[in-house]
Amino acid sequence: MDGVAAQDEYRELLDRLDAMSEPAYAAFQSRLVPGEKILGVRVPRLRALAREVAKGDWRGFLAAAGEGSMEEVMMQGLVVGYAEMEYEEALARAAAFVPKIGSWAVCDTCASSFRFLKKDPERSLEFLERFLRGDGQFAVRFAVVAMMDFFLTGTCLRRLFSDFDRVSHPGYYAKMAVAWAVSACIAKFPERTNAYLEHCRLDDWTYRKAIQKALESYRVSGGEKRLLRAAKRRVRTAGEPRR
């Protein structure tokens, strides 16, 4: 498909997004995701549309796609996740997409669709680890969320702990991603995660948030929560940062 045809199809897609938009939902989302232009299209409908695009000329779509709204950006990430392509191309397109992420909503929704990362765990983890050293908090968050989504396994757990300790970005959404991931580790691997928490290099804020999220989780047992509350009290009385 030539560029003109791709642009025409993209305009038609924008019309479809506009028809799917819900003003009340857009207002609600704007409170949760400040700073983004939001049309108000619900994620299940975006996913269905992205799967439809991924079955057609998805390369033409990605070439024509703009960034006029959060949904437009989210569509690009979802299409990269859903389209059939070789692993190498998928990594390249994921790398090109990550700098476009401007919110936790785009990050978390799209990261969960990048199932191609499971095809080669070693290379994928190396790919994700590159973003941990970046300046953008949403790039860091993308890496941490993707690690949690696809590599929270007994085999990879020790490596993930090391990666979490390396995150030093001060941004709220980067730190919260680490806290979320650690709380997921507590739920799935409580003994190994408790051992990690005894010597981890997480800053106190992230450490406390991880415990808080674990305490709020229905997947963490009552006995485990009692141990976590004791750990939380120890951190509260500590005068020095954990780094």
pLDDT at 79: 98
Q: Are residues 164 and 240 in the same domain?
A: yes
pLDDT at 232: 66
Q: Are residues 75 and 148 in the same domain?
A: no
> The pTM is what?
0.92
Q: Answer yes or no: are the C-beta atoms of 119 and 89 closer than 8 Å.
A: no
Is 105 among the domain residues? Answer: no
Q: Are residues 2 and 55 in the same domain?
A: yes
Please, what are the averages of pLDDT over each run of 10 residues along the chain (243 residues)? 81 96 97 96 98 96 96 98 98 98 97 98 98 93 98 98 97 98 97 94 95 94 89 54 41
Q: How many CB atoms lie within 10 A of CB 235?
A: 15
Q: Answer yes or no: are the C-beta atoms of 160 and 152 closer than 8 Å.
A: yes
pLDDT at 231: 74
Q: Are residues 39 and 68 in the same domain?
A: yes
Q: Are residues 229 and 137 in the same domain?
A: yes
Q: Are residues 72 and 190 in the same domain?
A: no
Q: Are residues 89 and 1 in the same domain?
A: yes
Q: Are residues 79 and 21 in the same domain?
A: yes
Q: Are residues 124 and 236 in the same domain?
A: yes
Parent domain of 141: 120-243
Count CA within 13 A, CB hemisphere, residue 56: 13
Structure tokens at 114: 């990048």
pLDDT at 230: 82
Q: Are residues 131 and 164 in the same domain?
A: yes
Q: Are residues 30 and 126 in the same domain?
A: no
pLDDT at 9: 93
Is 11 among the domain residues? Answer: yes
What contacts 238, CB < 8 A, 6 or more positions away?
204
Long-range own/partner contacts, residues 218-224 (CB < 8 A, 24 or more apart): 219/187, 219/188, 220/183, 220/186, 220/187, 220/190, 221/190, 224/186, 224/190
Is 86 among the domain residues? Answer: yes
Q: Answer yes or no: are the C-beta atoms of 198 and 234 closer than 8 Å.
A: no
Q: Mutual orientation of helices 157-166 and 121-132 as an angle, nearest 10°?
A: 10
Is 112 among the domain residues? Answer: no
Q: How many CB atoms lie within 10 A of CB 37?
A: 13
Structure tokens at 155: 């085999």
- Report how far residue 243's alpha carbon sits from residue 234's, in angstroms, rounded to the nearest whole number: 16
pLDDT at 2: 66
What contacts 77, CB < 8 A, 6 or more positions away?
97, 100, 101, 106, 109, 110, 111, 113, 114
